[in-house]
Amino acid sequence: MTNKNGTVYVMSDSLGETAEQVIKAAASQFNSGTTSINRYPYISDKVGVEEVIKEAIKENAMVAYTFVCPDLREFSERMCKQFQLPYVDILGPVMEQFSKITSVKPKLEPGVYRKLDEQYFKRIEAIEFAVKYDDGKDPRGILRADVVLLGVSRTSKTPLSMYLAHKQIKAANVPLVPEIKPPRELYEINPKKIIGLTISPSQLNEIRRERLLALGLGDHSSYASMERILSELDYAEEIMKGLNCPVLEVTNKAVEETASKLLEIIREENDND
């Protein structure tokens, strides 16, 4: 069976970015088909390797890996050969040659390179987190977040999440809509990790009207009506009171100003822990 789309399964005991970049560089030399890369980071045992290989078998995919542990490299090679999967050990041969020319044994410690610029990678991880768990896309992010932002539509939840991400803080945000029950995960975490955002009805009305016009829609939609806005804000206030979480007023405030207040709250909570 051929693999017309050039599907590649990437495994790593760290982020796997090195392997992904190498595969992309190689794939750019071919014009046929679209390469699909499935990355599996932080694999630390043979069970994890086996699970990925089983998925790769279904698509007759190529397997690439950057394991520093010799046992995981050898196990991956054996499995790929057993199931006749094309494979490439990206890191192993280079490490072996370095060991020969330097007469020094490798540390065999995953993520050493990443630790050279840990702040950079923490920021990247936080940005990826903010994108993945933006606008309540996946409520599971609530349980993993450093902070969860709540508010009705157009209260700067997404810009604030991204701003915090650049400060290496993993932020998830959840929109509050009267017709949709808040995710149960909100009630399973410390309410001090949740921060509500509120805004004056008049400014929200103005922001929503401008948003509708920017989208080429009329500004008479119920989305921008004062009746709807008051209903949403009342509902949001009720939810926030029920959660007993801190609430920040964002009316006439720049994202940086609100973020500064957010960071103060986060620092205070960390100091009290």
Known binding residues for ADP are 151-158
Q: What DSSP string runs through 113-172?
A: HHHTTHHHHHHHHHHHHHHHTGGGS-THHHHH-SEEEEESTTSSHHHHHHHHHTTT--EE
What are the structure tokens assigned to 245, written together?
């979480």
Token pair 């803080």 is at which residue? 169
CA dist., res. 30 & res. 113, Å (int): 29
What are the structure tokens assigned to 226, written together?
């004062």
Q: Can you say which residues are annotated as belonging to the binding site?
A: 151-158
Cβ-based neighbours of 63, under 8 Å, separated by 6 or more: 8, 9, 10, 11, 52, 53, 56, 76, 80, 85, 86, 87, 88
- The answer to whether 136 and 92 have CB atoms below 8 angstroms apart is no
CA dist., res. 129 & res. 252, Å (int): 28
Inter-residue long-range contacts of 160-164, CB under 8 Å, 24+ positions, other chains counted: 160/197, 160/255, 160/258, 160/259, 160/262, 161/130, 161/134, 162/127, 162/130, 163/255, 163/256, 163/259, 164/126, 164/130, 164/259, 164/262, 164/263
